[in-house]
Amino acid sequence: MHCLLIACASFAACAGISVRDMGAVGDGVADDTAAFEKAISQGKVAGECDTGKQRNARECRVGKGGAMDFVKTAGNMLVLERSGATVRLKGTNFQTPYHPHFFFTRFDFDWVERGMAQVEALGMNCVRQLIGVRHGDYVGAFTKYLEVAERHKVRVFAIPDWPHKYAEKGTLEDKANLEFVRELVGAVKDDPRVLAWDMANEPDWVSHDAWQWDQDRPEAERRLKWFARMKEEIKKIDSNHPISVGATFNYSYWMPDRPFTLESIVDFVDFHYYRRNNREHWLGERIRQMKEHTDKPIIIGEFGFPTDPTFHIHGEPEHNEELQLEFYRRYIADITTEGIGGFIQWALTDCNPGVPEETSEGTYGILRMDMSWKPAAELIKAGYVATRW
């Protein structure tokens, strides 16, 4: 993290710690990042940002003499709010060796620390993470998670795990959702370590019998109305962070077109790509199709390929690490050629899939369960350069 940091006014000690004692120069030229990091590790430090207000040092991490920039949208690009610099995302869907859905009921911060170190080593700048009520103190857990991410120069694309997704307006379930928004979003509304909000993961996969919007049009319309309403509720609290929805298919952003499209609701487009769901179209084609329906920023919120040679899908070559590498080369080439806002691959590590049926779900990682790197991880590190916060 390369930035200029302003310490306490006149470098007087704040909260019992002076960043000067930690080696800070404070002349507006020197990079005092290391001094601030050392001070932060020992306690909270007040600092002056370009607003002139006394703030926690964490809010003064990035940007010359000021607070960390929020990520915003500008035309078809993601940008840093104050500098206007273009943002290029490279990230992962973060999971432990446990199934990702159980992440906040089996929260192992030692593993989170080790996992985030791998994210940083891969040259990634973000993770996508489910945040939910299944962990008792989910706000406290999320705050601690952000602290770990920050140490590794990573921001978090957060997915609220709603207590009652798609609840009807005015019901008790809806009230529980609104309280969840007030608590979770309210706690981090001014925190630039949060990259953005992803209101739901793959809502267009309505059920195993209706796996795209058009197969259950009434339910699709109900969900679209819910997303529009929840975005409004989030924005009442948080005007800093952009909002999207991680759709299974790119075409879910423009169809159905009643009562309105998903594209019209979000601040930026996030769709997922798996070859087994797109047999006739490579990722580059799907991106170009999406560009015909939006002038907003586009990211790929999930893509991946499994490496379990014992699991085989008809019509696909045998899964293995070499084939994963081959597919990743194609995906990254398409993303680079199309010049979109970046990607968040699925997933960091292999995991216990947590389901009884035969599945390759546990082998999508670019790291093995022992944290060793598969060949695709080396490609991710060297083959695509992300914005450094």
**Structure tokens, 307:** 């490496």
pLDDT at 317: 75
Using CA atoms, how far apart are residues 31 and 40, in angstroms rounded to an integer? 16
* Helices vs strands, H then E, count in the chain: 9, 12
**Structure tokens, 301:** 């919120």
Residue 120, pLDDT > 70, answer yes
Residue 253, pLDDT > 70, answer yes
Residue 42, pLDDT > 60, answer no
User: How large a percentage of the chain has pLDDT more than 90?
Assistant: 65
Cis, bond preceding 347 (omega within 30 deg of 0): yes
Query: pLDDT tens digits for 70-115?
Result: 999 999 999 999 999 999 999 999 977 765 555 555 667 888 999 9
pLDDT at 337: 98
DSSP-derived pairing of the beta strands 155-161 and 71-74: unpaired
pLDDT at 25: 64
| Of the listed ranges 282-286, 314-318, 357-361, the one predicted with least confidence | 357-361
Q: What is the mean pLDDT of residues 307-317?
A: 77
Q: H helices within 238-348, ranges in order?
A: 262-265, 283-291, 321-338
Q: State the span(s) of the chain assigned CATH 3.20.20.80.
A: 71-383
CATH code, residues 71-383: 3.20.20.80
